[in-house]
Structure 1
């Protein structure tokens, strides 16, 4: 049941909910008021709740008065542009866990990221404390040693060659080249039953990445951790509590940065292909 409710005292019969419903399950009936005509086709996106100018619609048991107001609340185009251009991969971290409020806000907000057909099957697997991260770090290096010892050099992939080179240069692992000393890790996965499972987790992690920067939290997209958990040792995923039917999209390390960047970099011109006619 989608529990669609209309407050007729608030409804101005503008029809915005009908026009904006992506699956066309709302129609102006019942005396010119919106009503549901195909409940089973609803994907639960809540566009109707969000687009109603008078907060007259409730769906899925949600109270529109408890939603955040958007007017004048978005970042400016300039500040958003600076955020995107100024975002850096952080590889130097303070050795402390993030506070629970910050961590919970980042995780819960980032999972508002869009998913295909609003499936919302993305799972964030996270270490909440440095102690948990350090335990994982120990297990990762033990497994890395086993992997590099079992894979003949001639069968190395690009990433395993890179890991072998780092290991050979630092056999005692004095430098944490996998997690970069970060106090937290985040692994994004999605159920393979979701229509766009292979994309959804990457989108969610991208949202987390930019949101974290705005909170002063550093991140680094972690290909080496992804390789260890997803590609080379999938049993680690099970030990981390990731469901068997989930596909890992990517992993990230994050935490309070021990470095501060003062300006954006200046990349080469963007690669853009313009379609003038078709």
Structure 2
């Protein structure tokens, strides 16, 4: 049930909701107000609510007055450029966990990331306490130790080489390379039945990454964690609550950074292909 409603006292019949509707399911007869004739076509993207200049449209029970006005709230291009260039992968963390309200804010906002055909199917699994992450950390290294003691593994497999290095460093120096000592882990997964599960997860995590940086939260895209919960020990993903029919897009660790970067880096020239004529 879409519950598409138009506040006739506010609606100026400008037609913007009609022209911007991706599946073109909103119509309006002369002298009437916008309506949706076939609700099955609606993507539930809320473009109609977002574009209405007078906040006249409600859909799915959402009150447009509770949305944030964009005119004075968007960051400048310069501040976005600085955020993108200034973000760093954090490999040193304070042991203190983030406040659960901060974690919820990060995840709820990141769920707004775009998804293929607006599937909105990304599922976030995150540890909320340092204790839970520490228990996971110990379990991972125990399982890695057993895995590496198995003579059947392929020593030419790059994944094993990295896990060997991480295990040796953990045993000999008590340094955690797999989770980097972070107090939280994050897994983004999605049902295999949606059009683009992996890509949707990557976009959502990128959104999480940038928002976290803006809030002073450190992040690290963690490929070794993904190997552990996806390739080698999928039972860990199950114990954490990742649905069995989901594809894991990628994994992260995050928390209070124990380091503070002061400036952007300077990359080599980007690899760009500009096509001016086809």
TM-score, normalised relative to structure 2: 0.97
Residues 153 and 161 of structure 1 are in contact (CA less than 8 Å); yes or no, is this contact kept in structure 2?
no
- Map of 1:1-278 to 2, 5 A cutoff? 1-29=1-29, 31-150=31-150, 152=152, 154-172=154-172, 174-278=174-278
Query: Which ranges of structure 2 fall in alignment gaps of 5 or more residues?
Result: none
Q: SS in structure 2 opposite 1:132?
A: helix
Give the Cα–Cα distance (whole angstroms) in 1 for the partners of residues 9 and 199 of structure 2: 42
Separation (CA, whole Å) in 2 of partners of 1:237 and 1:16: 45
Q: Which moved more, 1:17-26 or 1:95-104?
A: 95-104
Aligned pairs, how many?
278
Structure 1: gaps (5+ residues): none
Secondary structure of 2:149 counterpart? helix
Runs of 4+ in 1 over 6 A off after TM superposition: none
Deviation at 1:231, TM superposition (A): 1.1
Aligned-partner Cα distance in 1 for 2:133–2:169: 24
- Matched-pair contact (CA < 8 Å) for 1:167–1:173: no
Offset at residue 199 of structure 1 (A) = 0.6
Could you tell me how far apart the structure 2 residues matched to 1:5 and 1:30 are?
A: 18
Q: CA deviation at 1:159?
A: 1.9
Q: CA deviation at 1:30?
A: 6.5
Q: Which moved more, 1:158-167 or 1:233-242?
A: 158-167
Q: Secondary structure at the match of 1:175?
A: coil
Counterpart-to-counterpart distance in 1, 2:76 and 2:213:
16
Q: CA deviation at 1:118?
A: 0.9
